[in-house]
């Protein structure tokens, strides 16, 4: 039997606010070659998922990419985030980061 309050938004349980995420966001600008973009890497172990996305503007042409995948089991202290199509390698944290496909 439905009641009147079923038609309204329900209160969010306090545990829902304790959702752990790790995020990396990269902005890149190459004005000389007219290349601009953002890349986002998101990991949510509680939901067993990782996500990558990238939006590029290359000489006026918009290129978009997005992917979702299972949370990697060896995530802690892993030096590579993302997937083969869009990944970042932390060669020397805070010093040298590589976004090229090294496969």
Sign of the torsion formed by the C-alpha atoms of 15, 69, 51 and 21: positive
Domain ranges of the chain: 21-98
Backbone φ and ψ for 6, nearest 5 degrees, come out as -70, -20
The most confident of the ranges 13-22, 67-76, 87-96 is 67-76
Count CB neighbours of 54 within 10 A.
20
| DSSP secondary structure string for all residues of 27-67 | EEEETTTTEEEEEEEEEEGGGTEEEEEEEEEETTEEEEEEE
Give the pTM: 0.75
Digit-coded pLDDT (tens) for 2-61: 555 566 666 767 776 667 889 999 999 999 999 999 999 999 988 899 999 999 999 999
């Amino acid at each position: 039997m439905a009641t009147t309050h079923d038609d309204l938004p329900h209160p969010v349980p306090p545990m829902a606010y304790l959702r752990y995420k790790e995020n990396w966001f990269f902005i890149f600008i190459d004005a000389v070659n007219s290349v601009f973009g953002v890349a986002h890497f998101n990991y949510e172990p509680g939901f067993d998922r990782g996500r990558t996305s990238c939006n590029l503007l290359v000489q006026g042409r918009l290129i978009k990419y997005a992917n979702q995948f299972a949370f990697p089991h060896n995530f802690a202290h892993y030096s590579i985030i993302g997937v083969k199509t869009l990944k970042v390698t932390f060669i020397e944290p805070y010093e040298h980061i590589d976004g090229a496909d090294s496969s």
